[in-house]
Amino acid sequence: MGKATGFLEYERVDGPVVSEAERIKNFDEFHGLLESEEQFKQAARCMDCGVPFCQAGVMISGMASGCPLHNLVPETNDLVYRGELEKAYNRLVTTHSFPEFTARVCPALCEAACTCGLHDTPVSTKENEKAIIEYAYEHNLVKEVKPAVRTGKSVAVVGSGPSGLAAAQLLNSRGHDVTVYERSDRVGGLLRYGIPNMKLDKSVIDRRIKLMEEAGVTFVTNADVGKTVKAADLTKKYDSVVLACGASNPRDIKAEGRDAKGIYFAVDFLSKVTKSLLDSNMNEVPYELAKGKDVVVIGGGDTGNDCVGTSIRLGAKSVTQLEMMPKAPDSRLDLNPWPEWPRVNKTDYGQEEAIYKFGHDPRIYQTTVKEFVKDAKGNLKSLIIISLEAKRDEKTGRMNMVEVAGSEKEIPAQLVLIAAGFLGSEKYVTDAFKVEVSERSNVKTHLGKYQTSVPNVYAVGDMHRGQSLVVWAISEGRAAAAEIDKDLMGYSNL
């Protein structure tokens, strides 16, 4: 696969990236593609390793190693190396529903497990994937299956994020009548309103939705199932219902002064920014949300990083990011060997932009909020933060982060964005369908299955597995579609 000696002949070269100075001026995507000949060389680095961990998608030490979709990575890379991009596309879509999404937002589990990355830089599989799918769109190769014959079975999909879209795509291709219900004003769920435009341009979603509509999938927006749409109506009208509502119950920060004006959950903030941009055709930037303000982002994950980058684009006076856990090591420890996911410190685009704009990394580790300080009008004006240290609980033996007495410090803050993760599915949805949930509020199913405790009602994606990655959501949507199809028809060829 690839050129036998390619990994020895070619160094890894990534696609062009717009400089921090330029990209913070707008909300445009800033990762470009290599010239075709250079991309072919990058694919040539795939080293015929014999055991392609890149496509394994297995759990090792509680972390995913390799692609959960089991994309046939070496085969695809080989076709890119040979310049056979149409064949590479046909190979890729045998396992993948939406390469255009993961090629932009996936952390590239495949690359972390790449054998070439054991002693050198891994093969640029993610960029190869982007080159394939963009070539396919440019040459009108991307088609959604419009079935010649319908089965007479109907399926409702609640939620239009990556898992819901993946399930809808395959179920429609099988011939079932599929209707997708979305509570927001636009289709896309997390892809639309949880990920900023500079990371995933919304036109990328729109072109896929257009193809799905042309193939027969029906989308209903402003339909909040469990509130404006009754769950009982769906279970009565459709043969099967797929719950793909995400883990949209945000974890809060309980501290004195939490009722201060100027504190928002991260996804609510990101959604507001994206909606403003889309409603104005990208002409009106909601600078009023952050301009001239000291912004504090609570949470060190991808969503927190997105809040950093967004706040900078909105003209924040300063941006600070609080992280409860210690800083990860800069390189792998012996306790974290390949092909495990590398638990190392990553400086993402938002932090890079903060370093450029303010001259320092915005992250403060082992720190949390002790108090939100309000002014006389109830507006947030500052935070009392406190340092944390790891201590073992004598009763349970678990390590916990506890406050360090006397380490309090006050920092200015007129805008706080809480990006502390999610606690699971929203209660009004699970109550409406009367499905059992776990202690973490995830919808319960049998291991490896997607049917809930209620017959003909299924759960997929973050609602099922908890907060996770887009690639896992797509994987679950595809697997659930096959299970539903078999239950409806007695067999499945999905």
pLDDT at residue 381, rounded to an integer: 98
Can you tell me which residue has the tokens 């995400």?
A: 246
Domains and CATH numbers, the chain: 6-138 (1.10.1060.10), 154-248+423-489 (3.50.50.60), 263-418 (3.50.50.60)
Can you tell me which residue has the tokens 């939490």?
A: 258
> For residue range 153-180, what is the model confidence (pLDDT) as tens digits?
999 999 999 999 999 999 999 999 999 9
**Residue 214, Cβ density class (10 Å: 0-12 exposed, 13-18 middle, ≥19 buried):** exposed
pLDDT at residue 102, rounded to an integer: 98
Q: With 90 as the cut, is the pLDDT of residue 77 above it?
A: yes
- pLDDT interval class at 273 (50, 70, 90): very high
pLDDT at residue 9, rounded to an integer: 94
pLDDT at residue 162, rounded to an integer: 98
- State the DSSP H helix or E strand holding residue 179, giving kind and residue range, or none if neither: strand 177-181
Rounded alpha-carbon distances, angstroms, from residue 182 to 64, 192, 222: 29, 11, 6
> For residue range 28-58, what is the model confidence (pLDDT) as tens digits?
999 999 999 999 999 999 988 989 999 999 9
Decide if 416 contacts 442 (C-beta within 8 A).
no
301-326 average pLDDT score: 97
Tokens for 473, please give them: 């959501």
Can you tell me which residue has the tokens 């009548």?
A: 177
pLDDT at residue 343, rounded to an integer: 94
> For residue range 407-452, what is the model confidence (pLDDT) as tens digits?
999 999 999 999 999 988 999 999 999 999 999 899 999 999 999 9
Among residues 37, 71, 80, which one has the least CA distance to residue 52? 71
459-488 average pLDDT score: 97
State how far the Cα of 46 lies from the Cα of 4, in Å rounded to an integer.
Answer: 8
pLDDT at residue 397, rounded to an integer: 86
pLDDT at residue 1, rounded to an integer: 61
127-133 average pLDDT score: 98
State how far the Cα of 123 lies from the Cα of 342, in Å rounded to an integer.
Answer: 16
Residues counted in the chain: 494
Sign of CA dihedral 205, 211, 217, 218: positive
Among residues 68, 238, 82, which one has the least CA distance to residue 152? 238
Decide if 45 contacts 127 (C-beta within 8 A).
no
273-288 average pLDDT score: 97
Q: With 90 as the cut, is the pLDDT of residue 485 above it?
A: yes
Tokens for 282, please give them: 């990208």
State how far the Cα of 255 lies from the Cα of 257, in Å rounded to an integer.
Answer: 6
Tokens for 64, please give them: 């995913």
Rounded alpha-carbon distances, angstroms, from residue 361 to 123, 303, 352, 358: 28, 17, 8, 8
Decide if 127 contacts 42 (C-beta within 8 A).
yes
> For residue range 86-121, what is the model confidence (pLDDT) as tens digits?
999 999 999 999 999 999 999 999 999 999 999 999
- State the DSSP H helix or E strand holding residue 77, giving kind and residue range, or none if neither: helix 73-81
377-404 average pLDDT score: 94
Q: Give me the percent of the chain exceeding a pLDDT of 90.
A: 95
According to DSSP H, which parts of 374-448 are helical? 427-433
pLDDT at residue 286, rounded to an integer: 97
Whole-model pTM?
Answer: 0.96
Count CB neighbours of 25 within 10 A: 9
Among residues 287, 268, 282, 143, which one has the least CA distance to residue 201? 282
- pLDDT interval class at 3 (50, 70, 90): confident
Q: With 90 as the cut, is the pLDDT of residue 480 above it?
A: yes
